[in-house]
Amino acid sequence: MLRHHLILGGQRSGKSRFAERLGMAWLAQGGSRQVSVVATALDGDDEMRARIERHRLDRPAGFATLEASHDLAACICDHSQPDHLLIVDCLTLWVTNWLMPATPVSDTTAWVQARADLLSALADAAGPVALVSNEIGWGVIPMGNEVRQFVDELGRLNQDVAQRCDRITLMAAGQPWTQQVQKW
């Protein structure tokens, strides 16, 4: 596995399962290797609680779970080690927590700082990070301003994260298409 890996795709495309396979391959290399899933979801309703529980139950044995619904950069800084793969699942929910919280906020300064902190944490991470995110910009342009802002912000974040990764995998129907990142 290379340093960082971005895994993109639509909902139910197999992104998390692919990331877990990367984790299993990482552990199979032996030594003192570890894998932690950095969960970003908030359990705000029954359906989300059920999704979170299903993800926990489906996770391979030996994977630890860390929670970082907002301070993802600190989690990466605190846990990144050369022998420790972090799987961030997922950036889409992390952006949702910032830009579409249950209680609306009008100040975007905190989001801008959290985004910058994440990009810095990836640049400084001592170990590998696999990041799962949705590719949601292929559909129609949303009618509402808030949703358009969300799509734009996630798209820009995915682009910036990709520039800090060595590989990108696009998932479609459970099948991966992987490429080395072109640095511009």
Q: In sequence order, what are the beta bridge partners of 172?
A: 175
Number of domains in the chain: 1
- Read off the pTM: 0.93
- Domain with 109 in it: 4-180
Average pLDDT score over residue span 84-101: 95
55 in catalytic set: yes
Q: Which of 4, 5, 55, 84 is catalytic?
A: 55
Q: How far apart are CA 113 and CA 98, in angstroms?
A: 11
The conformation of residue 141, written as its DSSP 8-state character, comes to P
Q: What is the pLDDT of residues 138-154, one digit of tens each?
A: 888 878 888 899 999 99
* Adjacent-strand bridge partners of 112: none
- Looking up residue 155, the CATH number of its domain turns out to be 3.40.50.300
DSSP 3-state assignment of 179? strand
What average pLDDT does the chain have?
Answer: 92
Torsion of CA 37, 88, 35, 118, to 10 degrees: -120
Strands 167-172 and 175-180: antiparallel
Amino acid at 72: L
Residues 97-118 have pLDDT tens digits of: 999 887 776 677 999 999 999 9
